[in-house]
């Protein structure tokens, strides 16, 4: 999931930008989330230092804080080198600093017309979503599912296991930081996965072999690295071992 951040010290403008971001994400059905909307650049840094992932950052330049937006962007680059940075500001004359600080901004939007800002933010969100998914597909394999009218990409190395849901014709994907329930048959899921990484250990479970912490062969239980347990059938335990 691509997290979105808004850092703007003007409360009215921050609320407008945040509402706009949420509306665009909903309309486009992107697998994105407004993770933080704040006037404090330190809260942005606290968040990204404690949560891994790629972000889209809409930053004001004059934040009336200990650091300005361009200095914040420079620090963001240390933790999120692949992140997308957009400046929304009244200071057109400061655009050259984005090159001085080497923050590689996606866009530099001037606060002169809200209609223009709305369109530019929309373009930035669409472009960031496209590039984010393109980059991930180039770097590593993903499992793609449709759930609740959204197309969701989950990286293989973040998937812990799949299990059948108590809801008929549904499967639950358990990942490092989320769970997603979607319509599917376990057989169809199994056929889409890389067998070098995933193993059908039970009629109700498909595990990521790289996420197994320990196997209790006697009781036929796989202990996963997130603390959860998966059942192993008598017939399939030999293949897993």
131-154 pLDDT, tens per residue? Answer: 888 766 555 578 888 877 778 888
CATH of the domain at 48: 3.40.50.2300
Q: Are residues 151 and 216 in the same domain?
A: yes
Q: What does the pLDDT look like over 84-140, one tens digit per residue? A: 999 998 866 665 555 555 677 888 888 877 778 999 999 999 999 988 887 665 555
Q: CATH number for the domain including 174?
A: 2.40.50.1020
Same structural domain, 166 and 119: no
pLDDT at 132 (0 to 100): 87
User: pLDDT at position 46, please?
Assistant: 96
Residues 78 and 135 placed together within one structural domain of the fold: yes
Task: State what percent of residues in the chain have pLDDT above 70.
Answer: 92
Give the number of domains in the chain: 2
Instruction: Give the pLDDT mean for 169-192.
Output: 92
H, E, C per residue of the chain: CEEEEEECCCHHHHHHHHHHHHHHHHHHCCCEEEEEEECCHHHHHHHHHHCCCCEEEEECCCCCCCCCHHHHHHHHHHHCCCCEEEEEECCHHHCCHHHHCCCCCCEEEECCCHHHHHHHHHHHHHHHHHHHHHHHHHHCCEEEEEECCEEEEEEHHHEEEEEECCCCCEEEEEECCCEEEEECCHHHHHHHCCCCCEEEEECCEEEEHHHEEEEECCCCEEEECCCCEEECCCCCHHHHC
Average pLDDT over residues 176-187: 91
Q: Which of 124, 139, 154 is the last residue of a domain?
A: 139
**Are 7 and 29 contained in the same domain?**
yes
Containing structural domain, residue 228: 142-240
């Amino acid at each position: 999931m691509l997290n979105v951040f808004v850092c703007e010290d003007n409360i009215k403008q921050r609320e407008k930008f945040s509402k706009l971001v949420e509306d665009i994400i909903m309309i486009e059905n992107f697998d994105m989330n407004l993770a933080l909307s704040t006037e404090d650049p330190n809260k942005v840094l606290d968040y990204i230092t404690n949560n891994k992932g790629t972000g889209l950052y809409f930053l004001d330049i004059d934040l009336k804080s200990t650091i300005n937006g361009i200095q914040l962007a420079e620090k963001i680059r240390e933790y999120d080198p692949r992140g997308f940075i957009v400046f929304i500001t009244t200071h057109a004359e400061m655009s050259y600093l984005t090159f001085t600080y080497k923050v590689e901004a996606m866009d530099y939007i001037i606060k002169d017309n809200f209609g223009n800002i709305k369109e530019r933010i929309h373009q930035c969100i669409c472009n960031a979503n496209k590039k984010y998914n393109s980059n991930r597909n180039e770097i590593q394999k993903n499992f793609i599912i449709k759930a609740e009218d959204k197309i969701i990409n989950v990286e293989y190395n973040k998937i812990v296991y799949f299990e059948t849901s108590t809801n008929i014709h549904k499967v639950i994907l358990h990942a490092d930081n989320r769970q997603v329930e979607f319509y599917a048959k376990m057989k169809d899921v199994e056929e889409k996965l890389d067998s070098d990484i995933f193993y059908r250990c039970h009629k109700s479970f498909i595990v990521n072999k790289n996420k197994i912490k320990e196997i209790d062969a006697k009781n036929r239980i796989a202990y996963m690295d997130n603390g959860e347990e998966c059942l192993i059938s008598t017939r399939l335990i030999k293949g897993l071992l």
